[in-house]
Amino acid sequence: AVSPFRPDAAVSDICSETTELADIDWDSLGFAYVPTDYMYTMKCARGGIFSKGELQRFGNIELNPSAGVLNYGQGLFEGLKAYRKEDGNILLFRPEENALRMKIGAERMCMPSPTVEQFVEAVKATVLANKRWVPPPGKGSLYIRPLLIGTGAVLGVAPAPEYTFLIYVSPVGNYFKEGVAPINLIVEHELHRATPGGTGGVKTIGNYAAVLKAQSIAKAKGYSDVLYLDCVHKKYLEEVSSCNIFVVKDNVISTPAIKGTILPGITRKSVIDVARSQGFQVEERLVVVDELLDADEVFCTGTAVVVSPVGSITYKGKRVSYEEGGFGAVSQQLYTALTRLQMGLTEDKMNWTVGL
Ligand code: COI
């Protein structure tokens, strides 16, 4: 049964129902869909403003077959996480960054977007309503997935006449099946994820459909995922299907600069700041694929993947291996610093966490 709530009135009622942890095996969380209790929805007409969001029971949504998102891919998503602290309190990590990124993406995709305040309040309400799904400390996190989609009907190519902002959540553990063991990537030099002037730099849903072909070919060959090159020169690193990439050489950390084809990751930006605060030199620049050959460490960053060490990269049939069986020293240090901050285990000097 669907039971809509006015957010302010409803959240306290919902929270009182949800003090116990959900009855699932918290030790076997991966990154798979787990249905939870509530989702948040808010609608808006083209050119209008979002108002009157509500929590409702998690479930299927009804869409006109002519909805803009179904026909022309007019949609964006975000991803952020909530962690449960030892004292039971819940922390969000930089939710206003996701709100800002969604605003920028919405502008590119000709969609209205919720205000930063609306976004953050909706995230808080959704997490509180699903509190029993936030994993116990050390067992994972609650992945929060905001969507902004054109739900109004269109036939010709045009912005949809109505939009829906929706948030659902799912408890997650590690993204890659390797867990925190190093992943094996293959460099893709024929299929591309993004083009200059395209939408690679915003979190539109189509960017992720575009990687499925190369990713499934790579997975069939036993690789964990694909590392993309720029489509013009076919020699500069871009990103992995679901995360940004970093290369470490002689303690200098380099990552491809954001230039329209690369997703401006919030974990990417946070890792850069954490690394600099710990005295590392970090360069955002063009990174040539050949630099992988003599790197000391390679790692990926993303909300879903956090900081994941890369164990090997294969490029044009040549395989280069890095740290066997674990993190390299630099990526380990950054992983520890970032995750301790996200889980509230160290003082948040950056002011990045938001308590609920
Ligand atoms: C995230 O890290 O939150 C992402 O959006 C990647 C997603 C494709 C799993």
Q: State whether residue 101 is helix, strand or coil.
A: helix
Partners of 187 in beta bridges: 227
Partners of 84 in beta bridges: 90
Q: State whether residue 10 is helix, strand or coil.
A: helix
Q: Return the exposure string of 237-271: e unless at least 16 CB atoms fall within 10 Å of the residue's CB, then b.
A: bbbbbbbbbbbbeeeebbbbeeeebbbbbbbbbbb
Structure tokens that stand for 306 in this block:
């956090």
Distance CA 316, CA 188 (A): 9
| CA distance readout (Å), 209 to 40, 180, 203, 206, 242 | 24, 25, 12, 5, 11
Q: Which residues line ligand 1 (CB under 6 A)?
A: 79, 208, 242, 302-304
Over residues 36-49, the pLDDT tens digits come to 999 999 999 888 89
* Ligand 1 closest atom vs CA 267: 2
Structure tokens that stand for 208 in this block:
């992720």
Q: Specify the pLDDT at position 14.
A: 57
Ligand 1 centre from 242 Cα, in Å?
5
Distance CA 6, CA 18 (A): 17
Distance CA 54, CA 51 (A): 9
Over residues 160-205, the pLDDT tens digits come to 999 999 999 999 998 887 777 899 999 998 999 999 999 999 999 9
Q: Specify the pLDDT at position 178.
A: 74
Catalogue the long-range contacts made by 341-346 (C-beta closer than 8 Å, 24 or more residues apart): 341/274, 342/81, 342/83, 342/91, 342/93, 342/141, 343/83, 343/85, 343/91, 343/137, 343/138, 344/83, 344/85, 344/89, 344/91
* Ligand 1 closest atom vs CA 203: 5
Q: ipTM of this predicted complex? A: 0.96
Catalytic residue ranges: 203
Q: State whether residue 178 is helix, strand or coil.
A: coil
Which stretches in the chain have pLDDT values below 70? Answer: 1-19
Ligand 1 centre from 276 Cα, in Å?
24
What lies within 8 Å, CB to CB, of 115 at 6+ separation is 50, 99
